[in-house]
Amino acid sequence: MTLDKAIKAIKQGNMILLYDDDNREGETDFVIPALDVKQGDIVRMRKDGGGLICVAIHPEAADKLGLPFISDILRSVSLDGHMSLRTIVEKTGDIPYDSHSRSSFSLWVNHRETFTGISDNDRTLTINKIGENVRDVLDGKKIDFGIEFRSPGHVALLRAASALLDERRGQTELSVRLAVMAGINPSMVVCEMLDDNTGNALSKEDAIRYSRRYNIPFIEGKDILEAL
């Protein structure tokens, strides 16, 4: 079963490909546990993916780390007189692929031991350390996220919806739910695969061909949903 292969792969710290849905973004993402990311994985994602390299975090960990949605930050700042931000956060319902109407984006961060934060080595360090913070805070340790990280930075944090797939069915929730199913640390790196020729998302067919060429498990969001 393809889902079993994908779960086995991420348990081993390896990469998989995850396609959300024909009726949503229609995108395939590279997905790999944050704790297991190596420099070569960043290289693959930026060269063969081309989308944003983000870390999706379980909502419980996000709450315990004090990581808000960026929309909530902007809404708060708009109340302090920054009127130009009010329209940004109050104009809702115009995300064409998502009736949830709120992006998963939280903060953008660099680890404090990075230089610029954008190099492959820097992003690897930042992502690994995010994974460690998620692991530790869920283990009951008291964590001050700001001691290790600065913002703005070059790694985007994504907060999964509170009810996960019962609330929202994006790559953020699918990847975090997959981690839960696998019994691993629920901090997952995701990166969209783009098409060099069309400029759009890589087609599902081309993503499947890529998975076969490099022996990387390919699954769809419906595979996860059907297993719940």
* Alpha helices, H only, 53-170: 59-65, 70-78, 83-90, 120-138, 145-148
Asked whether 148 and 129 are in contact (CB, 8 A), the reply is yes
Alpha-carbon Rg of the chain, whole angstroms?
A: 17
Which residues are identified as catalytic?
Answer: 29, 54, 97, 110, 154, 192
Q: Is 150 exposed, middle or buried (0-12, 13-18, 19+ CB in 10 A)?
A: middle
182-to-10, 81, 215, 221 alpha-carbon distances in Å = 8, 46, 20, 15
